[in-house]
Chains A and B, each alone.
Chain A
Amino acid sequence: MSNEDILNPKQMPHEPEKATLEGKNKFVGFWFFLGGETVLFASLFGTYLALNDSTAGGPGTEELFGLELVFVMTMLLLTSSLTSVYAMYHMKNNNFSKMMVWLGVTVALGLCFLGFEIYEFYHYIHEYEFTFRSSALGSAFYTLVGFHGGHVLFGLLWIMTLMGRNAKRGLNLYNAPKFYIASLYWHFIDVVWVFIFTVVYLMGKVG
C-alpha cells in the first residue's frame, strides 16, 4: 500500500482527526495551546476588571454599551459554533461537500460578527469619543475585546485558507486533523466570547 492509499482510505476510521501520529500530535499540541490562550485572556480580563471604573471623566460602561447589538453578535457567534459542529459531523461521515458547505456558513456568520464589532468600535469612537487612549477603561476594553476580534479574524482566515487549499483535494487523513483543529479554535473563540458578553457587557450594564 502506498502512502497515498493509506492517507485516502475508502472509509474514514472512527476518529479521522486522531488516526495518524501527526493528527494525534496536533490534537495534544493544540489543547496545550488552548491552555495558554486561557491564561492570556485571563490576564486581559483581570486588567479589565481592575480598571473598569477608571473612566477619567469620559463615558462609563453603562452609558456606552447597547445590549441589542451585543445580543445579535452573541447569537451570530453561538450559531456559527453550531454550524462548525455540523461541519465536523459531516467530516466524520466522510462527506466532504457537506462539510465545506457548513464551514462556508460558519465563515459567513463569523464575517457578520466581525462587521458588527467594527461598527461597534466605530460607533464608540465617533459618538462618544471613546478611544484606546481616552481612559484606562478604554485601553482595557479595546485590548480585551479587540484581541478577541483579532482571534475571530485569524480563525476566519484559517478556515478560509483550509477550504481553499483543500477544495479540489477532498477529505483525507492528512487534512482531517487540520479541519478538526480549526473547528476547535472556532469553539474556543466562542468560549471566550461567552465571558466577554457576561463580564464586559452584561456586568458593565448592571453597574
Chain B
Amino acid sequence: MEKDTNSTHNEFEKAEHKQEMQHQVISFVMMIIFTIAAFALVVSDISKYFTIPIILLLAVVQVVFQLYYFMHMKNKGHEMPALMIYGGLAVAFMTILTFTTIIWW
C-alpha cells in the first residue's frame, strides 16, 4: 500500500518536473531570439539612440528569464534569493551611476 502511494506521488513529481522543463526550454528559445535580435539590430546600423536602449532592454528581459526560469526564482521559497539579488542590483545600480558620473562630469 505504502509503495503504491509512493509511486503515484512519483508520477506526479515527474510530470511536474517535465512541465517545468518545458517552460525552461521555451525560455531558452526566447533568450536565443532576444540575442539574435540584439545582434541583428547592431549589424543593421540604425541610429545608436534607438539601438542602445533596445539592446539594453533585451538584455534585461533575457536576464529575467535566466533568473526566474533557469535559476528557479519563480518557484516557492525564493524570498531570500530575491532579497539578495535585488539588494545586490540596487547597490550595483548606484555603483555604475557613481562611477560614470564621476568621470563624465
Chain A interface residues (CB < 8 Å from chain B): 11, 14-15, 18, 28, 31-32, 34-39, 41-43, 45-47, 49-51, 67, 71, 74-75, 78, 81-82, 85-86, 89, 92-93, 184, 187-188, 190-191, 194-195, 197-199, 202-203, 205-207
- Contact A32 B84, beta carbon cutoff 8 Å: yes
Main secondary structure of the interface of B (DSSP, over half): helix
B103 at the interface (CB under 8 A from A): yes
| Inter-subunit contact A78/B28 (CB<8 Å) | yes
Q: Are A31 and B39 within 8 A (Cβ)? A: no
A184 to B70 alpha-carbon distance, docked (Å): 8
16 intermolecular pairs with C-beta atoms under 8 Å apart: A31-B84, A35-B85, A38-B92, A39-B92, A43-B99, A45-B96, A49-B100, A67-B39, A82-B24, A82-B25, A82-B28, A93-B13, A184-B71, A197-B38, A206-B48, A207-B48
Chain B: number of interface residues, binned into ranges: 35 or more
**B34 nearest CB neighbor, chain A only:** A194
Contact of A41 among B13, B55, B67, B92 (CB under 8 A): B92
Give the dominant DSSP class at A's interface: helix
Docked-complex contact B32 and A78, CB < 8 angstroms: yes
Cβ-closest chain A residue relative to B59: A198
| B88 engages A35 (CB within 8 Å) | yes
Residues of B within 8 A of A (CB): 6, 10, 13-14, 17, 20-21, 24-25, 28, 31-32, 35, 38-39, 42-43, 48, 51-52, 55-56, 58-59, 62-63, 66-67, 70-71, 77, 80-81, 84-85, 87-89, 91-93, 95-100, 102-104
Q: Which residues of B contact A81 (CB under 8 A)?
A: 28, 66, 70
